Amino acid sequence: MVKVYVPQDTTSKALGADEIAFAIESYAAQQGIGIELVRNGSRGMFWLETLVEVETDAGRVAFGPVMPEDVDGLLAAGLLHGNEQHALFLGLTESIPYLAKQQRFSFARAGMDDPLSLDYYTANGGFEGLTKALAMNGQAIVDEVKNSGLRGRGGAAFPTGIKWQTVHDAPADEGETKYIVCNADEGDSGTFADRLAMEADPYQLIEGMVIAGLAVGAECGFIYLRSEYPEAHRILNDAIARAERAGYLGDNILQSGRRFVLEVRLAAKAYICGEETALLESLEGKRGMVRVKPPLPAIKGLWGQPTIVNNVLTFVAVPFILREGASAYADVGYGRSRGTLPFQLAGNIQRGGLVELGFGTTLRELMNDFGGGTFSGRPMRAVQVGGPLGAYLPEAQWDTPLDYESFAAIQGVLGHGGVVVFDDTVDMSEQARFSMEFCVAESCGKCTPCRIGSTRGVEVIDRIRANESRQANIALLEDLCETMVDGSLCAMGGMTPFPVMSALRHFGEDFERGE
Amino acid sequence: MMNNAAQTNSYSDIDPDLWQRGVVDTVANLKKKRGALLPILHAVQDEIGYIPPAAIDYIGKALNQTAAEIYGVVSFYHQFHTSPGGAHQVEICRAEACQAMGSRALEAHAKDSLGIDYHQSTSDREIRLEPVYCLGNCACAPSVRIDDKIYARVTPERFDRLVESVRTKSVEVK
């Protein structure tokens, strides 16, 4: 019996993994070779997808990137025997430098097995954090998270333990419960870490949310999942059902008498609903309009009750912290950014994928050592870090260490860890225009600087690009951006100027082409 | 957005079985949920293909909200449509990672080859074209979604082949 792994995450499927799996099964049946085909999650090395692995005496060996049209030849050349001579042979998967050089805390299990296998999960550290948490009181769990130094991985980097403490200390109304809400509306371009966490290791997210519930005394959780992720939706629903049957969710978690129920709610294609208060409005069945803070969601959140809203990556870091202890997590990192961040290499990049590392590596190391330069082979010119509201960075800034404070110092944001690379064919005035255009499409409309400012921003950039009263319009754009930064309710209007102004400041020549 | 309202304003234009299953049963099953509106709208659109104006009234009554409130929610989200579109939805990612890999040329090609703009459907009612801001497939851009399947590294030629294959599939089903 030969064990073969073909991933089932979105990217692998988008590259033909289903066809490859089908071809392997048909070939084995035809040749009378006994195989066990496992549809694992991806390891996150998307440049090598579809990455087919075969278990051999030496360990798991990999072939990739396998295209559907390669698979017949590969099978004939002895894929199932781990043929080392084949051009797509990559050696032991664990030894591929891209993977070997990472520090995987939250993605250690990603791609190892069928993501829905509870046996695999529990045999590899799964639910150990939960078991420990069940023996602790809420305050002790909150203290452990505080001591780990974990900060919100959605982008704002607020200390998670402090948020949890606030919810822990705030009482729910009579007859109500507190809530645990997972922000899985991963809308930033260039990010896919949440998706991979959900598609490749869904129980880890469930475990993190149950631990949060135990910590603050919440009995109900929601995963607010973007509708652009149909695979994650399917896998999460299946994982929740299995976890319930096995007693990890429900009215009596592992016979402890503690209760936590969890439901996936589908978002509806609105970028603004990644903002936590708009997300809560949406969960309540309303337009995703941003709320004025205070009150903070930690005090009055979902249906007016104390609510933890954390990103997927924040919750998935928690089981490790409980299992291995706060210091094991805090020992890694840089400055006030503790632990690891799963960086995501995307856009025009040779080796795109997920790279989980402790904070502190430089952007250049990440893009060159892991990314291997551009996909087009042309020189890199601009890099947008932290999603559509993140600054465009010119080469002079690529030696900045990847941590929250170092990025803030250059008026950049690390955000959710997305790194989008552009080559020298990019027109940065067009990118600046797009940032404003995106804000027009996605603004909730509640505050004027964002709603009107973005429309005016598109117009002003168009005039600059058309060479109309250039200096006056540049001054106007700067003034408009300042108003948006200072006067918007949330990060949508407040940060849209970051990519715009960074493009203008660092790539001013692109605004001078004229027609 | 409401340009088809005249033809679809009454549920009598919808097959009665579809109305029963897609609206009446859906609302009955979901309305007890807290924050039921989005789950209901998703389910109605999954069954019927869009949110008929008559359903907006019906949902409003069931949830004790005005039709205006329901319409306000429907129109806020890019997900929901109030008029019937194509049999298949084709979404092209417009976000930055895909732009860095040539999605601007891809979207121009798509509009040109389908002969429609975003939010429109082809005259044979097979394809509705929509923009999408990120499919989470940013390491292998540009990305396209057709119904529930996502495709990576889509060139203009591959786009045409993919569209052709879903069109052919519908013809076979009929």
B106 and B166 part of one domain: yes
Contact B141 A282 (CB under 8 A): no
Same-domain check for residues B15 and B53: yes
User: From the CA of B11, how many Å to the nearest CA of chain A?
Assistant: 24
Any chain A CB within 8 A of the CB of B146?
A: no
| Assigned domain for B111 exists | yes
B150 interface with A at CB cutoff 8 Å: yes
Q: Do B76 and A288 touch (CB under 8 A)?
A: yes
Q: Report the distance separating Cα A61 and Cα A96, nearest Å.
A: 10
Q: What is the reported pLDDT for B3?
A: 43
Q: Are A407 and A386 in contact (CB under 8 A)?
A: yes
Span A184-209, pLDDT tens digits? 999 999 999 999 999 999 999 999 99
Is the per-residue pLDDT at A446 higher than 50?
Answer: yes
pLDDT at residue A316 tops 50: yes
Distance (Å, whole) CA A386 – CA A4: 36
B78:A188 CB<8 A: no
Number of domains in chain A: 4
Same domain? B10 vs B55: yes
DSSP assignment string, A200-233: H-HHHHHHHHHHHHHHHTEEEEEEEE-TT-HHHH
- Is the pLDDT at A412 greater than 80, yes or no? yes
Q: Identify whether residues A419 and A432 lie together within a single domain.
A: no
Q: Which B residues, 14 through 53, put their C-beta within 8 Å of a C-beta on chain A? A: 34-39, 41-42
* Residue A419's pLDDT band (cuts 50, 70, 90): very high
Shared domain check, A349 and A294: no
Mean pLDDT of A443-471: 97
Q: Is residue A118 part of a domain?
A: no
Residue A37 clears pLDDT 50, i.e. is over it: yes
Q: Please, what is the end-to-end C-alpha distance for chain B in angstroms?
A: 29
Q: Are residues B72 and B97 in the same domain?
A: no
Picking from B76, B98, B116, the residue at the C-terminal end of a domain is B76
Confidence bin at B170 (pLDDT 50/70/90): low
Residue of A nearest to B31 (CA): A285
Residue of chain A whose Cα is closest to the Cα of B103:
A347
Residue in chain B closest to A44 (alpha carbons) equals: B139
Interval A321-369: pLDDT, tens: 999 999 999 999 999 999 999 999 999 999 999 999 999 999 999 999 9
**Same domain, residue pair A184 and A263:** yes
Do residues B122 and B111 touch, judged by C-beta distance below 8 A? no
Contact A172, A303 (CB under 8 A): no
Same domain membership, residue B108 and residue B31:
no
Pair A337, A326 in one domain: no
Shortest Cα distance, chain B CAs vs residue A504, angstroms: 17
Q: What is the pLDDT of residue A514?
A: 59
Query: How many domains are there within chain B?
Result: 2
A501 with A443, same domain: the answer is yes
> Any alpha helices (H) in chain B, and if so which ranges?
5-8, 16-19, 26-30, 37-48, 53-63, 67-76, 96-99, 103-114, 156-173
| Any domain includes B136 | yes
At B52, list the tokens. Answer: 């008929």
Would residue A113 count as lying in a domain? no
Average pLDDT over residues B61-82: 97
Per the domain annotation, does A108 fall within a domain? no
Same domain for B127 and B62:
no
Residues A77, A216 share a domain: no
The answer to the question of residue A267 being in a domain is yes
- Please check whether residues A294 and A410 belong to one and the same domain: no
Q: Are residues B66 and B99 in the same domain?
A: no
Question: Residue A112: inside a domain, yes or no?
Answer: no
Pick from B76, B98, B119: which residue ends a domain? B76
DSSP A253: G
**Could you tell me if B60 and B96 lie in one domain?**
no
Q: Taking 80 as the threshold, does the pLDDT of residue B92 lie above it? A: yes
**Residue A444 with chain B: CB contacts under 8 Å:** 76
* Residues A290-294, mean pLDDT to the nearest whole number: 96
- The answer to whether residue A187 is domain-embedded is yes
Which two structure tokens, joined as six digits, stand for A126? Answer: 């799964």
* CA gap B43, B26 in Å, rounded: 7
Nearest to A189 among B134, B149, B153 (CB): B134
Give the mean pLDDT of chain A: 97
How high is the pLDDT of residue B11? 60
User: Is residue B41 in a domain?
Assistant: yes
B39-64 mean pLDDT: 97
Residue A119 located in a structural domain: no
Nearest Cα residue to A112 out of A62, A56, A41:
A41
| Residue B93 backbone phi and psi in degrees, to 5 | -75, 130
The enclosing domain of A375 has a CATH number of: 3.10.20.600
Examine the fold and report which residue of B53, B76, B99 is the final residue of a domain before the chain moves on. Answer: B76
Would you say A366 and A403 are in contact if contact means Cβ atoms under 8 Å apart?
A: no
Beta-sheet strand order (sheet of A2-5): A35-38, A2-5, A52-56, A59-63, A89-92
CA B46 from chain center: how many Å? 9
Whether residue B13 has pLDDT greater than 80: no
For the segment A248-286, what is each residue's pLDDT rounded down to a tens digit? 999 999 999 999 999 999 999 999 999 999 999 999 999
Token duo for residue A265: 């709610």
The answer to whether residue B81 sits within a structural domain is no
**Contact call for B143 and A14, based on CB within 8 A:** yes
Place of tokens 């939010």: B119
User: A441: domain range?
Assistant: 428-512
Question: Please, which pLDDT band fits residue B85 given cuts at 50, 70 and 90?
Answer: confident
Q: For residue A243, what pLDDT is reported? A: 98
Measure in Å the smallest separation between the Cα of B126 and chain A Cα atoms.
21
Give A86-102 pLDDT, tens digit per residue. Answer: 999 999 999 999 999 99
| B72 → closest Cβ in A287, A420, A431 | A287
DSSP bridge pairs for B131: B92
Closest C-alpha to A426, from A373, A481, A459, A383: A383
Query: A299 and A308 in contact (C-beta within 8 Å)?
Result: no
Domain identity same for A44 and A76? yes
Give the minimum alpha-carbon distance from B19 to chain A in angstroms, rounded to a whole number.
Answer: 22
Which CATH number goes with the domain that contains A326?
Answer: 3.40.50.11540
Domain with B16 in it: what CATH number? 1.10.10
A56 part of a folded domain: yes
Task: Specify the pLDDT at position B5.
Answer: 41
Does the CB of B95 have a partner CB in chain A at under 8 Å?
yes
Closest partner residue to A353 (CB to CB) among B72, B98, B139 is B139
Whether B68 and B113 map to the same domain: the answer is: no
- Alpha-helical runs (H) found in A217-370: 230-245, 276-283, 312-324, 326-330, 363-365
Encode pLDDT of A231-250 as tens digits.
999 999 999 999 999 999 99
Contact A426 B100 (CB under 8 A): yes
Domain range for residue B153? 88-173
One domain, residues A433 and A414: no
Note whether A352 contacts B139, CB cutoff 8 Å. yes
Q: Choose the final residue of a domain: A270, A305, A330.
A: A330
| Average pLDDT over every residue of B57-65 | 97
Q: The tokens of A28 are what? A: 């084995």
Domain assignment present for residue B82? The answer is: no
On whether both A219 and A291 belong to a single domain, the answer is yes
Write down the pLDDT at residue B14. 87
Rounded to a whole number of angstroms, the distance from the CA of B77 to the nearest CA of chain A is 6
Q: For the domain that residue B144 is a member of, what is the CATH number? A: 3.40.30.10
Residue after which a domain boundary falls, among A307, A330, A353: A330
Q: Which of A314, A330, A346 is the last residue of a domain?
A: A330
Chain A positions touching B39 (Cβ under 8 A) are: 265-266
B70 and B95 in one domain? no
CB contact under 8 A, B97 and A269: no
Residues B108 and B163 in one domain: yes
- My answer on whether B93 and B136 are in the same domain is yes
* Cβ–Cβ below 8 Å for A438 and B133: yes
DSSP state of B24: I
**Same domain membership, residue A472 and residue A387:** no
Please tell me whether residues A305 and A179 are part of one structural domain. Answer: yes
At residue B6, the pLDDT reads 40
